[in-house]
Amino acid sequence: MKLFDLSGKKCLITGAGGLLGRYHAEAIIEAGGSVILTDIDRNSVVSLAEDLKEGYEKECASWAVMDVTDHKSISGVLNRMGPIDILINNAAKDPKVDSTGLNDSIPQSRFEVMSLKSWKEGLDVSLNGTFLVTQAVINKMIKNNTAGVILNISSDLSVIAPDQRIYKNLSESFSEQNVKPIFYSASKWAIVGMTKYLATYFASKNIRVNSISPGGVFNDHPKGFVEKISNLIPMSRMANVDEYKGAVIFACSDASSYMTGHNLILDGGRSLW
């Protein structure tokens, strides 16, 4: 179990106010580390930090408001922090299916009518944010001679195309059908490419870079949507919110000390079909 021990390690998490941010943080803390929770939404990280300190210990979590697309915002946060051992790039823009099976970006999410502005905004957080934060953190790691770990959160849609049929609503016309937008797939595929690039680029600096590609996480989705996506998964279900914690601990600890440039797919087998 010593291989999984993160005692004394400090981990910065971007997009910590999102659905999986809490569980990435819990994974690091439960392995003995501490977390710096960052998000553009102040209320979400303040609330999460308080919850974690109440559930674990007061020194386990701190928070900072940070815009991953703004170099000054990133620098301002990092300048206030000591050495960082681990970075989890979790921030992303991902339109969600609501209780009706739709989202508020229709029809802008459709490729046929997507504006260049929407395309750029979709890439900005996931891709540009990952670039900017990783660059700043790696420079800090090198300056402090830190044997660091970068973990990029990608998606099962980094290795397969989205099956748009699971979003289909028969009561809607073709042009009004909900879809997973192209910027999500493009950014997640690019993050895996970035992971491999950085892994080789910084291997001599003793910095490991890996990614995990989670499948869909159940979060009160409509019954019809859950049934359709479950039919695409050999394990016949969506992931539970805490099922990626083990992978996070593995990737961030010495348990994976000889692994770099790898994209670990955790999708219940969906990408096998």
Place of tokens 């005692």: 7
Element (H, E) at 49: helix 42-55
| pLDDT tens digits, one per residue of 190-237 | 999 999 999 999 999 999 999 999 999 999 999 999 999 999 999 999
In whole angstroms, give the CA distance from residue 232 to residue 260. Answer: 30
pLDDT score recorded for residue 101: 45
Can you count the helices (H) and strands (E) in the chain? 8, 7
- Contact predicate 16/46, CB 8 Å: no
Length, in residues, of the chain: 273
pLDDT score recorded for residue 234: 98
- Domains of the chain and CATH, by start: 2-100+123-162+184-221+241-272 (3.40.50.720)
pLDDT score recorded for residue 178: 83
User: Is it true that the peptide bond before 107 is cis, omega within 30 degrees of 0?
Assistant: yes
What SS3 state is found at 13? strand
DSSP structure string for 222-258: -HHHHHHHHTTSTT-SPBPTTTTHHHHHHHHSGGGTT
Element (H, E) at 66: none
pLDDT score recorded for residue 66: 98
In whole angstroms, give the CA distance from residue 198 to residue 158. Answer: 17
What are the residue ranges in the chain where pLDDT is below 50?
99-104, 106
In whole angstroms, give the CA distance from residue 45 to residue 57. Answer: 16
Alpha helices in 153-220 (DSSP H): 182-201
